[in-house]
């Protein structure tokens, strides 16, 4: 009780301090005693009786706190029994009641009603509404904190568990890899042996076909049928004209015979035929050219149906071709040619028609003629393939388990690296997205991920920035979030977005703007930003007029 009495006396003495009009109690000491007054800004001294003489002597207006003489001065409204406030000195005695107690209009030109009680009642109502909102938001925040801490503890525990599981799975995978490699070695050896045998068969078959083709060519070149091909017989074939002078010289003919005068069939097959088979043309394969004015496009050669014309697209019909005479047969012939080309391309390929170990794509198998398909593996090789397939299957399963556990570990680590607030209160925002729509756009905010905008009527979404870092001022970094490196503006920088966070009873994106080109700002309310509410009846900085 004694302490309260002393406090009241002290307060009374403070209010009793003599000070010029327009000066607050806090600044009263600057206007006490002496015959001179010192200006606040530059220390200039003036006679004390020049204070409030309605003439501005100090540059900062500190000598005229109670008059309108200085445009940059401040007048202190007493607002007795309530909270004092400042107004610009130019409003003093201007015929408008600016102080709620009317103390700024002291010259008596107008009578001001004391509205302080009404004004402060409204302020107190605002404060109470804010306090209630803060109280509701803070209760939710406490739940966020509890859930966030529990989630973090669970992830840490799970990370420890996964790390132990990974050690076991890696050991199991490595063991199965060794088993797989051990099973694949005899499989590979058996398959290679089988395939090499098949390649040898194909090579022998090809050699036989080549020998038959060479024999036919040898018989045709051997004009006198003496079982010898000499250089004069070579000169009869114009395709061997190396210098394209219209004749095949003896030297050119001998060059194709490997400088020999003549060769027998065996030598021709082994040495000569491989070098001339792409050049050689038997007599009768080139039709006599018609007169220049009657040249027609060449027809496809089809022994079964000669003279049939090809089908051409309407815009690509060569001059001299009657489209009415086109036949589907030409397309079929082309398809046959393509298939023959495919067979050449697949030379050396094989088909494994075993259910165990077959890796040949069915589409390729279908294009390989039966005579060119590699024979099925023998039973012993199939067993080796089955054993290796089973080993591969078990290894793949173990490898996938290791990959899955690595993925989960990495996701947990990325979560734990996030700054979710001092007490994990922002963890509730992770994984959520919020939208706000104005007259033109729908804005989207996904905490810890990105911000974006999309035309309200539909269209392409524009990335306004990806999660960067907390961007609040010193001492309150959780005041805002920075999103960077969004989609680039035309002839400008990459877009970025600052998300300002406010206390609210629920999470909501409440506004979006573009304060400067390519730089956006979102307003977001969340319980995570609510502080512990002050007791009812207490004062805060929100009481300022």
Q: What is the pLDDT of residues 133-179, one digit of tens each?
A: 888 899 999 999 999 999 999 999 999 999 999 999 999 999 999 99
Res 536: pLDDT: 54
Cα within 13 Å of Cα(84), Cβ side: 16
Average pLDDT, stretch 50-75? 92
Confidence label for 117 from pLDDT (cuts 50, 70 and 90): confident
Residue among 499, 514, 398 at smallest CA distance from 451: 499
d(CA 508, CA 525): 5
Q: What is the DSSP letter of 426?
A: G
Measure the N-to-C terminal CA separation of the chain; round to a whole number of Å: 33
Cα–Cα dist 106/180, whole Å: 101
Which pLDDT score is estimated for 386? Answer: 97
CA neighbours within 13 Å on the CB side: how many for 9?
6
Angle between helices 116-221 and 379-417 (to 10 degrees): 160
* Residue at token pair 């220390």: 43
Span 187-214, pLDDT tens digits: 999 999 999 999 999 999 999 999 999 9
Residue that has been written with the tokens 């799970």 in this structure: 158
343 contacts 368 by C-beta, under 8 angstroms: yes
Predicted local confidence at residue 485, as pLDDT: 96
Cα distances (angstroms) measured from residue 434 to each of 148, 378, 426, 466 = 20, 65, 14, 15
Q: How far apart are CA 22 and CA 232, in angstroms?
A: 131
The predicted pLDDT at position 545 comes to: 33
pLDDT for 64-84, tens place per residue? Answer: 999 999 989 999 998 887 888
Question: What confidence category does residue 537 fall into, taking pLDDT thresholds of 50, 70 and 90?
Answer: low
Q: Look at the alpha carbons of 273, 276, 279, 280 in this order and tell me if their dihedral is positive or negative.
A: negative
Q: Between residues 278 and 302, which one has the greater pLDDT?
A: 278
* Model confidence at 339: pLDDT above 70: no
Compute the distance between CA of residue 21 and CA of residue 122 in angstroms, rounded to an integer. 27
Contact in structure between 486 and 494 (CB atoms under 8 Å)? yes
Alpha carbons within 13 angstroms on the beta-carbon side of residue 374 total: 28
Instruction: Please give the C-alpha separations between residue 59 and each of 74, 90, 104, 240, in angstroms, as whole numbers.
Output: 13, 15, 22, 111
Q: Which of 26-40, 284-298, 468-482 has the lowest mean pLDDT?
A: 284-298
CA distance 151 to 421: 14
The whole-number pLDDT of residue 286 equals: 53
**For 242-271, how does the pLDDT look when each residue is reduced to its tens digit (9 = 90+)?**
888 889 898 988 888 888 889 999 998 999
Q: Report pLDDT for 399.
A: 97
Backbone angles phi, psi at 144, to 5 degrees: -55, -45
Instruction: Pull the structure tokens for residue 112.
Output: 């001001």
pLDDT digits (tens, 9 = 90+) for 360-409: 444 445 566 777 889 999 999 999 999 999 999 999 999 999 999 999 99
CA 168 → CA 93, 181, 501, distances in Å? 86, 20, 45
Higher pLDDT among residues 453 and 16, named by residue = 453
Is residue 506 a contact partner of residue 490, using CB atoms and an 8 Å limit?
no
3-state class (DSSP) for residue 4: helix
Nearest 5°: the CA angle 445, 451, 454 is 95
Predicted pLDDT of residue 366: 57
Which residue in the block uniquely carries the two structure tokens 């409003």? Answer: 91
Q: Are 444 and 438 spatial neighbours (Cβ–Cβ below 8 Å)?
A: no
Average pLDDT, the chain: 82
- Phi, then psi, of 309 in degrees rounded to 5: -90, 155
- pTM, two decimal places: 0.56
466: β partners: 450, 484
- Furthest CA-CA distance within the chain: 147
pLDDT at 476: 94
Question: Residues 279, 248: contact at Cβ < 8 Å?
Answer: no
C-alpha 22 chain-centroid distance: 62
Gap between the Cα atoms of 208 and 289, Å rounded: 36
Confidence of residue 2 (pLDDT cuts 50, 70, 90): very low
Sequential DSSP letters for 294-310:
G--PPPPP-TTSTTPBP
Q: Are 273 and 240 in contact (CB under 8 A)?
A: no
Which of 326-340, 440-454, 466-480 bottoms out in mean pLDDT, i.e. has the lowest?
Answer: 326-340
Higher pLDDT, 317 or 533: 533
CA angle 265, 270, 273 (to 5 degrees): 80
Residue 359, pLDDT > 70, answer no
């Amino acid at each position: 009780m004694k302490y309260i009495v002393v406090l009241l006396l002290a307060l009374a003495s403070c209010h009793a301090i003599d000070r010029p009009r327009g000066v607050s109690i806090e600044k009263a000491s600057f206007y006490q005693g002496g015959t001179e007054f010192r200006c606040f800004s530059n220390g200039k001294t003036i006679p004390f009786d020049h204070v409030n003489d309605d003439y501005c002597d100090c540059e900062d207006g500190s000598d005229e706190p109670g008059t309108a003489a200085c445009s940059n001065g401040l007048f202190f409204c007493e607002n007795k029994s309530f909270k004092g406030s400042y107004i610009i000195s130019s409003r003093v005695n201007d015929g408008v009641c600016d102080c709620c107690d009317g103390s700024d209009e002291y010259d008596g030109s107008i009578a001001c009603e004391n509205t302080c009680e009404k004004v402060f009642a409204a302020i107190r109502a605002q404060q109470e509404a804010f306090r209630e909102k803060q109280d509701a938001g803070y209760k939710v925040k406490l739940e966020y904190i509890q859930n966030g801490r529990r989630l973090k503890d669970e992830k840490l525990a799970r990370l420890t568990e996964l790390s132990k599981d990974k050690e076991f799975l890696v050991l199991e995978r490595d063991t199965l890899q060794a088993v797989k490699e051990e099973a694949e070695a005899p499989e590979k050896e058996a398959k290679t042996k089988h395939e090499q045998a098949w390649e040898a068969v194909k090579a022998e078959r090809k050699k036989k076909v080549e020998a038959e083709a060479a024999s036919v060519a040898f018989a045709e070149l051997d004009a006198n049928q003496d079982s010898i091909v000499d250089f004069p017989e070579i000169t009869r074939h114009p395709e061997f004209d190396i210098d394209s002078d219209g004749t095949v010289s003896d030297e050119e003919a001998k060059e194709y015979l490997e400088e020999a005068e003549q060769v027998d069939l065996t030598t021709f097959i082994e040495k000569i035929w491989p070098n001339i088979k792409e050049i050689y043309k038997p007599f009768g394969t080139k039709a006599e050219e018609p007169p220049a004015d009657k040249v027609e496009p060449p027809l496809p050669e089809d022994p079964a149906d000669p003279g049939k014309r090809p089908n051409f697209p309407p815009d690509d019909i060569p001059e001299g071709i009657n489209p009415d005479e086109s036949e589907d047969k030409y397309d079929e012939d082309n398809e046959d040619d393509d298939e023959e080309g495919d067979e050449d391309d697949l030379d050396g390929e094989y088909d494994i028609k075993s259910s165990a170990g077959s890796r040949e794509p069915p589409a390729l198998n279908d294009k390989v003629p039966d005579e060119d398909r590699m024979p099925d593996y023998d039973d012993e090789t199939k067993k080796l393939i089955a054993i290796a397939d089973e080993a591969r299957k078990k290894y793949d399963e173990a490898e996938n388990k290791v990959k899955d556990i690595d993925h989960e570990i990495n996701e947990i680590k990325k979560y734990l690296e996030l700054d979710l607030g001092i007490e994990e209160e922002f963890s509730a925002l992770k994984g959520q997205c919020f939208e706000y729509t104005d007259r033109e756009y729908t804005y989207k905010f996904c905490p810890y991920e990105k911000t974006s905008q999309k035309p309200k009527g539909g269209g392409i979404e524009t990335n306004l920035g990806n999660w960067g870092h907390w961007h609040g001022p010193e001492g309150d970094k959780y005041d805002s979030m920075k999103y960077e490196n969004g989609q680039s503006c035309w002839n400008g920088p990459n877009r970025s977005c600052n998300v300002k966070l406010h206390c609210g009873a629920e999470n909501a994106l409440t506004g979006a703007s573009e304060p400067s080109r390519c730089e956006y700002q979102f307003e977001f309310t969340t319980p995570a930003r609510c502080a512990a509410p002050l007791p009812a009846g207490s004062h805060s900085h929100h009481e300022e007029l």
